[in-house]
Amino acid sequence: MGMFDGLNISASGLTADRLWLNVIANNVANANTTRTPQGGPYRREEVVMNQVPFTNFSSVLSNAMNGGSSSLSGGGVQVTGIVQDPSPFKVVYDPSSPDAVNGYVQMPNVNIATEMVDMMTAQQAYQANVTAFNSGKTIDTQSITNL
């Protein structure tokens, strides 16, 4: 494991959390959008994240013996996609809306309470990664100055 792997892992989490917060903000901003360029109401989006696995020692050793890289790497998180929530749209009675069909309007499948809970979770994850990054930075700095 390299000296800066901990910082890289925290940085990958910070990047993923920032994107997650941006998607949540987009969902909240479009909570009442009944007409999109694609047609129909806005559909809630979700971020899909996956773990970036560490390279195990045996594969690193094998690779190094064959003339390749001999460093352990990996770890952290990566965003693998942004997907649309397939849950059904809400239907409300509003005959005055230009998007009404027989007086009913399809509304986005965005639930503000769910978005707020997701936002608090993403903010806490972001703060945890900031704390881990700062701790790693302090440890790395002390390691270098105490040589």
Beta bridge partners of 79: 49
> What's the pLDDT score for residue 70?
45
Q: What is the pLDDT of residues 49-81, one digit of tens each?
A: 998 876 666 665 666 677 665 444 567 889 999
Report whether 105 contacts 92 (CB < 8 A).
yes
pLDDT recorded at residue 141: 85
pLDDT value for 8? 86
Q: What is the pLDDT of residue 6?
A: 81
φ/ψ of residue 108, rounded to 5: -55, 155
Residue 49 to residue 82: CA distance in whole angstroms: 9
At 142 the pLDDT is: 86
pLDDT < 50 positions in the chain: 70-72
In angstroms, rounded to a whole number, what is the distance separating the alpha carbons of residues 112 and 120? 12
